[in-house]
């Protein structure tokens, strides 16, 4: 296994004007989602902060195909959570089998390439909603209604950001290299197995405050193979560590004024701009910069309230995430070697 460098991996020497525009879209879009959820007083602030961050950070260009994938994913997640949780929420075995089947379909869409965004956003949102809905006190209908509202708000934010900070020049399309059938089978089976094991673990264990760790176990699977998951897990841990420390520094600077919305908003915007820059220097992929962005989004969107500061949540986030990423990578490593024993599922590099 290649050694991972203990630094933020930077792959571009500098940013161009398009990259700067995307940084502004990420920072201002994240702030708008944060302000909306805090002013509205919702219990599911992560929906409003993470969703626009995914769209603005991972998709530099907005077009009808992107919008169709995003809306289709939101519709699928809404129907599946209502139906699956409503009919099988108290039946662990059927619930797990259905969730595994859904994961397989979504990872298959990611492995094929053209509908990667549909699969990625659906898996993240489905995991978040099932995590929240798994507790007896959860109001599933109210949660799904909030999710749909967050989808519409996020879509409006994304469109507004692209209108305010448009691209300066056309970007070359990302080329998706063709994959042999064995690679696709390898990626789908590996990612589905590890994601299902993560789902079971978070269902069995009482991990109400471990949303960051739960999402991290999904995000490290986005490369869909061991070769990419190892660096992705490392970058996820580094980005989360940096994001958590940035949250602590901001908390210490504000002291008892963390309940003053303009102060916390400015500090969050500044942090998002810094991490967005690292994200663009990494090539706009799901690396350490993007991990720091989503960490800040979850910390401030979900856990910061006028009555609750970030100190405990911040420290717990990183410790739980480090354990979750380590266990996930171990599962990915084992599945990688098991699947490579068979010609039909062997990963051709």
How far apart (Å, rounded) are the C-alpha atoms in residues 271 and 243?
9
The pLDDT assigned to 6 comes to 36
| Tokens, residue 261 | 């919305």
Q: What is the pTM of this model?
A: 0.82
How far apart (Å, rounded) are the C-alpha atoms in residues 292 and 56?
14
The predicted-structure confidence for 296-334, as pLDDT tens digits, reads as follows 887 777 766 655 555 656 666 667 777 888 888 888 889
C-alpha angle 309/287/217, rounded to 5°?
A: 65
| Tokens, residue 31 | 């702030």
Long-range interactions of 260-269: CB distance < 8 A, separation 24+: 261/35, 261/38, 264/300, 264/304, 265/31, 265/34, 265/35, 268/30, 268/31, 268/34, 268/296, 268/300, 269/27, 269/28, 269/30, 269/31
The pLDDT assigned to 324 comes to 82
Q: What is 58-73 written as a DSSP string?
A: H--S--HHHHHHHHHH
The pLDDT assigned to 12 comes to 57
Q: Which of 3, 106, 10, 30 is nearest to 298 (CA)?
A: 30
| Tokens, residue 139 | 């109001």
C-alpha angle 136/142/144, rounded to 5°?
A: 95
Collapsing DSSP to helix, strand or coil, 305 comes out as strand
The pLDDT assigned to 155 comes to 92
The pLDDT assigned to 321 comes to 73
The pLDDT assigned to 106 comes to 92
Backbone angles phi, psi at 99, to 5 degrees: -65, -40
How far apart (Å, rounded) are the C-alpha atoms in residues 167 and 22?
8
The pLDDT assigned to 31 comes to 92
| Tokens, residue 115 | 């509908």
Going by C-beta distance under 8 Å and a sequence separation of 6 or more, which residues neighbour residue 194? 217, 221, 328, 331, 332, 335
The pLDDT assigned to 143 comes to 83
Residuewise pLDDT in 10s, the chain (349 residues): 333 333 344 455 567 888 889 999 999 999 999 899 888 887 778 788 888 888 888 888 888 888 899 899 999 999 888 888 777 777 888 888 988 999 999 999 888 877 888 888 888 888 878 877 777 777 788 888 888 998 999 999 999 999 999 888 877 776 667 778 888 898 899 999 999 998 888 877 766 656 677 777 888 888 888 887 778 777 877 887 787 778 778 877 876 766 678 888 888 898 899 888 888 888 777 778 888 888 888 777 776 665 555 565 666 666 777 788 888 888 888 998 899 888 888 888 7
């Amino acid at each position: 296994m290649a050694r991972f460098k203990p630094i933020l991996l930077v792959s571009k020497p500098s940013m161009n004007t398009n990259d700067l525009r995307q940084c502004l879209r990420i920072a201002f879009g994240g702030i708008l989602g944060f302000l909306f959820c805090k002013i509205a007083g919702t219990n599911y602030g992560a929906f409003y902060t993470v969703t626009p961050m995914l769209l603005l950070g991972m998709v530099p260009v907005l077009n009808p195909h992107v919008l169709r994938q995003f809306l289709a994913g939101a519709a699928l997640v809404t129907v599946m959570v209502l139906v699956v949780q409503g009919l099988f929420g108290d039946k662990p075995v059927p619930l797990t089998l259905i969730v595994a089947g859904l994961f397989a379909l979504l990872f298959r869409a990611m492995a094929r390439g053209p509908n990667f965004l549909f699969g990625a956003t659906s898996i993240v949102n489905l995991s978040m909603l099932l995590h929240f809905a798994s507790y007896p006190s959860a109001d599933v209908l109210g949660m799904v209604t909030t999710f749909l509202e967050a989808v519409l708000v996020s879509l409006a934010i994304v469109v507004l950001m692209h209108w305010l900070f448009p691209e300066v020049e056309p970007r070359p399309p990302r080329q998706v290299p063709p994959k042999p059938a064995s690679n696709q089978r390898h990626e789908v089976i590996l990612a589905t197995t590890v994601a299902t094991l993560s789902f079971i673990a978070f269902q069995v264990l009482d991990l109400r405050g471990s949303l960051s760790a739960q999402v991290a176990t999904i995000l490290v699977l986005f490369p869909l193979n061991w070769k990419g998951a190892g660096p992705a897990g490392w970058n996820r841990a580094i980005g989360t560590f940096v994001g958590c420390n940035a949250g602590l520094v901001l908390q210490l600077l504000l002291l008892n004024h963390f309940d003053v919305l303009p102060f916390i908003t400015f500090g969050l915007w500044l942090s998002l701009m810094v991490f967005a820059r690292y994200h663009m220097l990494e090539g706009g992929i799901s690396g350490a910069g993007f991990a720091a962005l989503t960490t800040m989004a979850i910390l401030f969107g979900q856990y910061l309230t006028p009555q609750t500061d970030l100190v405990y949540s911040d420290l717990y986030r990183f410790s739980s995430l480090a354990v979750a990423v380590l266990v996930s990578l171990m599962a990915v490593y084992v599945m990688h070697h098991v699947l490579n024993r068979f010609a039909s599922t062997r990963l051709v590099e």
